[in-house]
Structure 1
């Protein structure tokens, strides 16, 4: 695969980004494009490694290693190197329904397990993937496909995030009549309102795929929350199978003094407000303009809050992370091909550093108190350093006395992860939940405790990556198809 000695001849290169000072002035995607020749050189770096780990998609030490949707990465890398772009697209679409999404927002566990990464920077798999699908759209290779035969079976999918969309795409290809219900006003779930526009353009990328699926026969119903706008009984009676892809949208809260003050919001509420404002041209319901912003929590969501606050014109932004600062390189207890637990500077932190002069993150700190003003609005945040100590076999944070610090913060955003799916609909459908509150459904058949009701994605496995959501949507679609038809030819 690739050029025999390509990994020795060419260095890893990724597309340049617009400068932080320039890109924070708008909400457009900030990645530039590389030339075809440059992309071919990056494809040439893919070694003939014999046993590629990039497409394994397994869990190692609680982390994802390799691609969960088992993309045929070495094959399309080789095709790009040779200049066979259409063939590269053919291989890519065999395993991935939405490479234009994953090529932009997936954290690329494939690169973390790249064999070349043992001795050199890994192959730029994510950027090559994005280049392939972008070219496919530009060349007109991506066209709606006519479904030759319809089975007469009707399937309802609740939730239009990546799991729901992947399942809808697969089940539609199998000939079933698919209806996707979304409680929001636009299709896409977290793809639409949980990821800012500068990372994933809503009209040019997300809506483009939704429009394509509509042309292929999928029906999308927005502004409809099953269990409220449409009864669970009607859903069950109207469809031959139901697939729940509602996500893990119940956020983890912060139990500290001052939590009820005005100006304290969950991160997803803030990000949704920001994206709605961009799409409609209206003023955001939650704005960071002119305020000192404190983001509590790390991860992609925390980074997205930092970047969005900068674009709204905040006065300052600080990000508090309870975990210690990661090391600069792999440690002995984090060997390849595990996901590398190393320090990364994402786009939001890069932008904050450029505008404020330093990385906005404070590591190994715990929020102690939110302090309000006379009007009942949050005005300051008090936090302290923590030490991570072993307690009954678990590492837990312990506040360090005398390290308390108070900083200004008139907007506090809670980005501390999610606890599982909302359970109102689950109760109405008599669907059992696990001790972690996720939907109890088999890993082999995705069936719940309720007859003809299936589940996939974050609602079933808990908060995870977009590639796991697509993996689950595809696998669940295969089992729904098997349930309806007795067998399935879906991959």
Structure 2
């Protein structure tokens, strides 16, 4: 029979069977031997890490809070879904409102749903959770008994604040030292307000600083205003979370001699402080990452002046402040250059497309070759040449075309490094601070480190490192006599079934209390969790382990964006990302395939030919304990495993 084009398309886009064509032979001798009722194998319920969480540098239990939003996992008492999801989300990340807006979402790239239709819009649900928590005035629990230990945290960006939050949950007090007038680090001084509204940021910061035992000292630079030795004598541990606030200049001969060539870090800080109301008529930014997109988008929004006469670098480096918004603004001519093709730029794809809509010119696969200057040594243009990548290094293309871009201001957005003035002894030759696998500073007992000062990366990476560093600090302060154990292979904030059972007063009894004289069958005893294995610290469940045929194609609920075109962009500072409505959020959470955890679909119960798989009684049931197996009926046919959509059921010897 001929195959229709529609059938071919379906086969390419949707896996509707458990096995592919050709998968008709057993893969191992073990499979030859262990089959049906001779195998002695029964379904075992295996918790694994979903790839969204495995891809999240913060280690959030994404599957967990999506389950809560969709109504599968329910809280006890009268707690709302919104608060319960917030509590689960912020176990790992105390900034859901911010991160739901600006995180480039590696979780979505890793989502197994990409093999069905399109990823789950995780960021949009997280934004909703964060915004709802702010609207409800939710606070963090600071009831953990104080340990009497104090930690000095140097740096008030997301890493420093996340560490203070995690430490307080463990009972440790902390003081955050920051050399700015406000907390926030690069999130405040590097990211424009139309991407992260400052009221949302301020609310999430205040939620941390309002915790009992979290102190803040602003406009205080360690190494200048306060000595490290004083901190060592006053505090029980020190966490370095300085961030990287020095921008890297272009690799051209005269970069340091050209006054109107500045770094993106300086440029964006001047804008975010409110000091820069407009910029030069012609701006060229070299980069390709999210920071460079912020530079060019800001430049298009603030524009220039028709009669522009000042030196752009004076404002862009904080030497001069614009006191008032002028009336005679005109659009600025803005160009972005990148080493990579448009679809390979490191900036988020939608950010790149937004910049194009806003009227930014983007030149790809080129590298700077020369800053062209006038008789006064000021830049009047940037020469770029077609380039190729050899390993991790760009190289001019042989015979490549050279282009001169006129410029009144050149901005470098090619990387950042730390400002270690006054504390140079803690730095390495990269102007960063070394860290071991536990985020201890090698050779400096009692000193720890997290965030960009280890290696510049994402905000979510800094948050994840802060969480691990806080655990290491806790071990140092409370269990220092014990050797640090190896971190888990999948080092995340995992769902804990025992905690869930405890929450619903279903905790197993003690072994002595629950055991019987004949221990050959323990499936009915209450001292153990029957037939369950937690492998989440070791395994990430792949889409090949799921029954993808269970899932229908469902269109993603997409947030709309307020992106101005090139004629509207001047003076446009409305928040870019529009939140989903509650029903849209619930609908989007329902698209989650719950990889590695039961989501109560009943397939195993329905398809079991022996009625061996059954639902746990409602008063004994909770997330992770929805179904069980009667070993006296099970014949090991593995149908339940085949029809399990989430990969939660595997055939094993049980327990």
Question: Do 1:232 and 1:425's aligned partners in 2 also have CA atoms closer than 8 Å?
Answer: no
Q: Which residue of 2 aligns with 1:253?
A: 249
Using a 3 Å threshold, how does the CA distance of structure 1 residues 115 and 458 change in structure 2: closer, same or farther? same
Q: Which residue of 2 aligns with 1:98?
A: 95
Q: Which residue of 1 aligns with 2:438?
A: 444
Q: Deviations over 1:53-105 (max 9, x none)?
A: 1111xxxxxxxxx1122222223223323393333223212222221221111
The match for 1:401 among 399, 402, 420 is: 399
Shift of residue 326, structure 1, vs aligned partner: 3.0
Q: Which residue of 2 aligns with 1:182?
A: 178
Shift of residue 289, structure 1, vs aligned partner: 3.1
- Partner of 2:380, secondary structure, is strand
The match for 2:211 among 190, 197, 216 is: 216
Shift of residue 406, structure 1, vs aligned partner: 1.1
Question: Do 2:223 and 2:423's aligned partners in 1 also have CA atoms closer than 8 Å?
Answer: no
Q: Deviations over 1:392-431 (max 9, x none)?
A: xx6642244361111211011100012x43333443xx43
Shift of residue 257, structure 1, vs aligned partner: 4.2
Q: Which residue of 2 aligns with 1:293?
A: 283
The match for 2:189 among 186, 189, 193 is: 193
**Aligned counterparts, 1:319-334, within 5 A:** 319-326=336-343
Shift of residue 364, structure 1, vs aligned partner: 0.8
TM-score by structure 2 length? Answer: 0.57
Question: Do 1:263 and 1:412's aligned partners in 2 also have CA atoms closer than 8 Å?
Answer: yes
**Aligned counterparts, 1:90-169, within 5 A:** 90-140=87-137, 142-147=138-143, 149-169=145-165
- Inter-partner Cα distance in structure 1 for 2:144 and 2:296: 47
- Partner of 1:70, secondary structure, is coil
- Inter-partner Cα distance in structure 2 for 1:405 and 1:303: 21
1:86 matched to 2:83? The reply is yes
- Inter-partner Cα distance in structure 1 for 2:68 and 2:273: 39
Using a 3 Å threshold, how does the CA distance of structure 1 residues 177 and 406 change in structure 2: closer, same or farther? same
Q: Deviations over 1:423-461 (max 9, x none)?
A: 33443xx4363x65532222125243212111112212x
The match for 1:354 among 353, 357, 374 is: 357
Using a 3 Å threshold, how does the CA distance of structure 1 residues 146 and 362 change in structure 2: closer, same or farther? same
Any gaps of 5 or more consecutive residues in structure 2?
1-12, 15-46, 73-80, 305-331, 483-491, 494-655
Q: Which residue of 2 aligns with 1:378?
A: 379
- Inter-partner Cα distance in structure 2 for 1:343 and 1:458: 18
1:317 matched to 2:350? The reply is no
Q: Which residue of 1 aligns with 2:228?
A: 232
Shift of residue 147, structure 1, vs aligned partner: 3.2
Using a 3 Å threshold, how does the CA distance of structure 1 residues 346 and 400 change in structure 2: closer, same or farther? farther
- Inter-partner Cα distance in structure 2 for 1:325 and 1:354: 14
- Inter-partner Cα distance in structure 2 for 1:51 and 1:453: 31
Q: What root-mean-square deviation, in Å, do the aligned CA atoms of Structure 1 and Structure 2 show?
A: 2.8
**400-409 vs 98-107, which moves further:** 400-409
- Inter-partner Cα distance in structure 2 for 1:229 and 1:301: 30
Q: Deviations over 1:120-174 (max 9, x none)?
A: 221101111111121122233x125343532222210001111111111111222
Shift of residue 468, structure 1, vs aligned partner: 1.3
Using a 3 Å threshold, how does the CA distance of structure 1 residues 52 and 313 change in structure 2: closer, same or farther? same
Question: Do 2:260 and 2:378's aligned partners in 1 also have CA atoms closer than 8 Å?
Answer: yes
Q: Deviations over 1:172-205 (max 9, x none)?
A: 2222221000011111111110111111122x12
Q: Which residue of 2 aligns with 1:338?
A: none
Q: Deviations over 1:255-278 (max 9, x none)?
A: 32442222211000000000001x
- Partner of 1:243, secondary structure, is strand
Question: Do 1:310 and 1:352's aligned partners in 2 also have CA atoms closer than 8 Å?
Answer: no
- Partner of 2:51, secondary structure, is coil
Q: Which residue of 2 aligns with 1:72?
A: 61
Question: Do 2:289 and 2:346's aligned partners in 1 also have CA atoms closer than 8 Å?
Answer: no
**Aligned counterparts, 1:6-17, within 5 A:** none
Q: Which residue of 2 aligns with 1:422?
A: 419
- Partner of 1:443, secondary structure, is coil
Using a 3 Å threshold, how does the CA distance of structure 1 residues 112 and 355 change in structure 2: closer, same or farther? closer
- Partner of 1:458, secondary structure, is coil
Shift of residue 236, structure 1, vs aligned partner: 1.6
Count of aligned residue pairs for this structure pair: 403
Bigger Rg, structure 1 or 2: 2
The match for 2:261 among 260, 264, 273 is: 264
Q: Which residue of 2 aligns with 1:63?
A: none
- Inter-partner Cα distance in structure 2 for 1:229 and 1:445: 26
TM-score by structure 1 length? Answer: 0.75
Question: Do 2:382 and 2:407's aligned partners in 1 also have CA atoms closer than 8 Å?
Answer: yes
Any gaps of 5 or more consecutive residues in structure 1?
1-6, 9-48, 57-65, 278-282, 328-340
